[in-house]
Amino acid sequence: MPDPATPSETATPVTPPGARHRLVDVPGGRIHLVEQGSGPLVLLVHGFPESWYSWRHQLPALAAAGYRAVAVDVRGYGRSSKPPAVEEYRMLAHVADNVGVVQALGEKTATIVGHDWGSNIAADSALLRPDMFTAAALLGVPYAPRGGPRPTEAFARIGGDEEFYVSYFQTPGRAEAEIESDVRGWLAGFYAGLSGDTMPAPDEPSLYFVPPAGRLRDRFPAGPLPAWLSEAELDHYAGEFERTGPTGALNRYRNVDRDWADLAAWHGTPLTQPSLFIGGALDASLAWMADAVKNFPTTLPGLVASHILEGCGHWVQQERPDEVNTLLTEWLDALPAR
């Protein structure tokens, strides 16, 4: 469809020079994306609580390396569709969105790259549609096939008297109340709490757990922004969530049991395409999912390389853009031609 972005949107200073905004129709609604470059398609999928903007450093680097880099706003974020029902944020819907984007762009195949929840979405897109997603790069969150007990039951057993953040996010309206009271401040604290240079010390209470009658933000660090995040960049993120609200983003967490049921046929299934993993050494995801990393020889038999960046937290492609760009382009360049 024609690009419907307004002049103010296409001229926004946060857009990398040479990139353009588009809205494309997919079966589930519309997806907003930012694209740059020409060549083999590389689809970039963000996590929580971010947007296409988390790939602002990768778009020009991948374009310069000869790729068509496309960063989407996942449904519920930014200018993409925000369906009202919780179940419309199940994993199968996100996979369908990615398939629809590739088709809307006139392509038949793509390499998919994801961070945080986007890592899970990228992995499941490649798992369910290996004909279309011929390689996958996973950032921050390692691949773990469907398995184990029902996710909400497992999360409920974590933390003792305190509540694991994924459990805290399950009830509609609960996390929204604390976020919407101060969107910019909440985002600043969440980004800082998971960033390598500003996260709490290991001996401090974990911000991933909510004390009884408390809020998630009660343990956010008080201090400066992470080095990778300027005031203007925070303003952009806050502006997106001020406009859209956080419910669509939080609804991804509210589908973990539904995903577990939907993907029963893929229980324990490895991801066999060529793959790449990049994580931050200080990211708690690697500690919680150490077994998933250990099992890569079985679960990711096509793994080309796994890189753990020392001193880096959760926001790998923003905390270490140059390193991630180099690792991504070297991996992409070595993939079989498609």
pLDDT tens-digit profile of 263-311? 999 999 999 999 999 999 999 999 989 999 999 999 999 999 999 999 9
211-246 pLDDT per residue, tens: 999 999 999 999 999 999 999 999 999 999 999 999
Q: Measuring CA to CA, which residue among 27, 39, 30, 42 is closest to residue 3?
A: 30
Is the separation of the CB atoms in 101 and 33 below 8 Å? Answer: yes
Report the DSSP beta bridge partners of residue 223: none
Q: What pLDDT sits at residue 159?
A: 80
Distance of alpha carbon 334 from alpha carbon 326, whole angstroms = 12
d(CA 123, CA 39) in angstroms, rounded, equals 22
The percent of residues in the chain predicted with pLDDT above 90, rounded, is 91
Smallest CA-to-CA distance from 45 within 132, 129, 134, 110 is with: 110
Instruction: Give, in order, the Cα–Cα distances in Å from 224 to each of 34, 280, 315, 320.
Output: 29, 20, 16, 18
Q: How far apart are the first and last CA of the chain?
A: 26
Spatial separation of the C-alpha atoms in residues 161 and 210, rounded to whole Å = 9
- For 165-177, what is the mean pLDDT? 96
Cis bond before residue 49 (omega within 30° of 0): yes
314 catalytically annotated: yes
Q: Pick the catalytic residue from 116, 259, 262, 283.
A: 116
- Give just the sign of the alpha carbon dihedral 122, 125, 130, 132: negative
Q: Which residue has the tokens 């998919």?
A: 112
Residues counted in the chain: 338
Q: How many CB atoms are closer than 10 A to CB 2? A: 6
What per-residue confidence (pLDDT) applies to 160? 85
Residue 313 binned pLDDT confidence (cut-offs 50, 70, 90): very high
Q: What is the pLDDT of residue 4?
A: 36
**Residues 179-197: what's their mean pLDDT?**
98
Q: Is it the case that residue 13 has pLDDT exceeding 80? A: no
Domains recognised in the chain with CATH numbers: 7-334 (3.40.50.1820)
Give me the chain's average pLDDT, please.
94
Q: Which of 44, 30, 96, 103 is nearest to 72 (CA)?
A: 44
Known catalytic membership, residue 267: no
Sign, CA torsion 278/283/284/290? positive
Rounded Cα gap, residues 183 and 267, in angstroms = 38
Cα separation, 211 vs 215, in Å, equals: 7
- For 140, residues 6+ apart whose C-beta sits below 8 A from its C-beta are 47, 115, 116, 119, 278, 279, 280, 283, 285, 314, 315, 316
